[in-house]
Chains A and B, each alone.
Chain A
Amino acid sequence: MKSSVIIFPGSNCDRDMDVALKKFGFNNQMIWHNDLELPKSDLIVLPGGFAYGDYLRCGSIAAKSKIIKSVISFANSGGLVVGICNGFQILIEASLLPGALLRNKYLEFICKNVFIKINNSENKYFKNIKKNILKLHIAHNEGNYFCSADELKSIEDNNQIAVNYCNKNGDISEEINPNGSIDNIAGIFNKNKNILGMMPHPERMIDSCLSGGDGSLFFENLLKNLK
């Protein structure tokens, strides 16, 4: 399986993602933001970081970069595109996903382990995944998912919520919501479920010595579903 990770100036989880994809058997290549065309890929990844410094709204400049047109047409033709953290922000700014990511509720950067519950597993990302509750890591300043009531209804009606923050038993409550996201939303799909954006970093949890290995399940499963 071929994957491509886009590097924007200021991306800083690009290497981590490259390491993770290769570890689980993807044939990965790194693509520079100024390129116009994507190589033939089964999966496109927008990694975490601070693309273009995020001095404007997070992800907004990256969403206008040269490569993004190709990403949009790849996604619109049904190709799998996943954005993690800053990548999620970019997907939203590029209007590939609905809603907005605001500053965290307590106005502080948060770096910690969280549990997420998979809400919809009828898709290439989570189908047949071994666990329904994953322990992953978040590290962000703007992960507070927000959308209008109408949008939320549409997201729910179309079963677009991918993952929610929960406790280790899978209970979803405001108490364990790390950043103030509506309905504890940690990640969402587009209507077709080929585009996934989420704040937690599976690439940081691919080894039991890195505070857990649940990220491995994500990659292993994705690869299996792609084959």
Chain B
Amino acid sequence: MCKYVCPVASVVRYEPVYPPNKALIAHMILSGMINLKDEGENVARYAYLCTTCGLCSTPPWCGLDVRLWEIIEALRADLVDQGIILEPVKRVLKSASENRNPYGENLHARFSKVKHVFSDDADVVYFVGCTTSYRVPQIANAVIDVLSIAGLNFTLLKDEWCCGSPLIRLGLIDLAREHAEHNINALNDIGAKTVVFSCPGCYRTFKIDYERLGYKIKFEVKHVTEVVVDLLKSLKIRKKEDITATYHDPCHLGRHLGIFDAPRQILSVLGIQIREMQWRRENSRCCGAGGGMLITNSEVAYAAGRRRVEEALESGVKNLITACPFCRISLERASGGKIEVKDVMELLAESLEER
């Protein structure tokens, strides 16, 4: 059944792309039927054709204790260890080593488009993340506006590096450790008690992957929608009752971390009518951008995004809301202007009145 729900296989309809066959490929390597020395490039082709969205490993699509995204990440790490590194992965390796972000952007320009909120006495830190900082700073600025209007004493992390999510997804584990250590130390140094994320990829990395890499974090981590839900009563909101929208659950935020309701509650408080898609919540289909696909197979990611946009359009709405910078980029690019794509925090920021 898992074969049916793969967002990548729905686009690249080659038999080896389907989830059970990726697990089969891993099995064939482990059992010595194929070896990475001879077949590495061919294995890499399929190992990187996965958004690691996890839908295939979710009941009822899978009734076994198989987490394909973990198999895929381990496979990619093995490929990197063997020196089989795809060109786009090499570029990320270089960029993250030199500039501490996967995009080849200047480290020192990280917050150049983001409102500067630095406070020495705040123990709440908003970890912005690379994609939000460099590609969709409007989400960061919306988060900053909302948290500021809500009166929260918070700060950005001056020396923020990539959280390591794209590095882990692409198999660059050693470099991911470097980044994890740096970020944890930097946050500890400024006495962070709570770290807030608007990027589900960063959030998942801090919450799940750092521990898998062997690090313990002392501070609490939260997604911004969880934080904001508790602050909604204190905010003055101009309702957006004229908007009917559908909500796209980001894979990392929803399926991986179980946050489905907080973004919907925010939309509901904003007065927005939500028309749900058939594939939602635990069964949400990936926007195509996950698992490093935007970097390694951007055209496939784009096509998977178009499919998700079509599903949104089928629900008969003109607004597609999400809570992830990757999803926002992918869906907006795939929308072809047919539907307006926004992050829930942007909508909330637009609706707030200064207190």
Does B associate with A? no
